[in-house]
Amino acid sequence: MLVLASPPGGGKTTISRELMRTDTQTIVSVSATTRAKRPGEVEGTHYYFVTREKFKQMVDNGEMLEHALVYNNNYYGTPKAPVEKALSEGRDVLFDVDWQGNRKLSEIARKDVVSIFILPPSWAELERRLHARGQDSEEEITRRLGMASEEIAHYKEFEYVIVNNNLEDSLRVVRGILDSERSKRTRLLNVDDFVKTLKP
């Protein structure tokens, strides 16, 4: 369970998309959210867009791995069934969540979670990226900037930290972390049986 988190504009979504494009062993966990769909977003690909009532019903039915109220505005959460199915098939699952999501996933599956926090190279660049999206109102951008300091303050809860100066460099580091974590003895499901075959 690979967690990528960052303040808005930190680059986690871009890095996630590039990783998904090039790594066939990893699938992305699609979150459910109560926020409105943005231009270009596709239901079931970017998010599952649900009403607050439906979201609360999913939580009450135990269908969420984790969930949180973000920016005191909208709910986000990870549906449990698709994640459990992918892990049972031996695949890695990428989570594009915030620090709250990472904390909750780590509480329920500490040994399975690998967490990475993406930092922007500067505050000025963070502001520039949020304005460059052209998708949010000034009010929304101001709110996101107001919450960014709080999110950044949680970087110590993550195992790895990357300063996203350059997309290609950051992506290379993420891939290196993923390759290393996949090679840990405790994650190699059939290594004991394989070692038994290594006899003269």
The answer on pLDDT for 170 being more than 80 is: yes
Q: Does the domain spanning 2-189 belong to CATH 3.40.50.300?
A: yes
Q: Could you state, in order of their start, the residue ranges of all structural domains in the chain?
A: 2-189
Residues 43-89 pLDDT 10s: 988 899 999 999 999 999 999 998 988 867 899 999 999 998 998 88
Task: Tell me the average pLDDT of the chain.
Answer: 91
The pLDDT of residue 15: 93
Assign 144 a pLDDT band (cuts: 50, 70, 90). confident
Structure tokens at 162: 């990357």
pTM confidence score = 0.82
Residues 85-104 pLDDT 10s: 998 888 999 998 889 889 99
Indicate left, alpha or beta for 78 from its phi (over 0: left) and psi (-120 to 50: alpha).
beta
Whole-angstrom Cα distance, residue 13 to residue 154? 18
Tell me the three state secondary structure of residue 46: coil
The pLDDT of residue 132: 84
The pLDDT of residue 70: 80
CB atoms closer than 10 angstroms to residue 31: 21
Q: What is the DSSP letter of 157?
A: G
Strand partners, 48: 32
The pLDDT of residue 145: 86
More confident residue, 133 or 140: 140
Please report which helix (H) or strand (E) contains residue 12, including its range.
Answer: helix 12-22
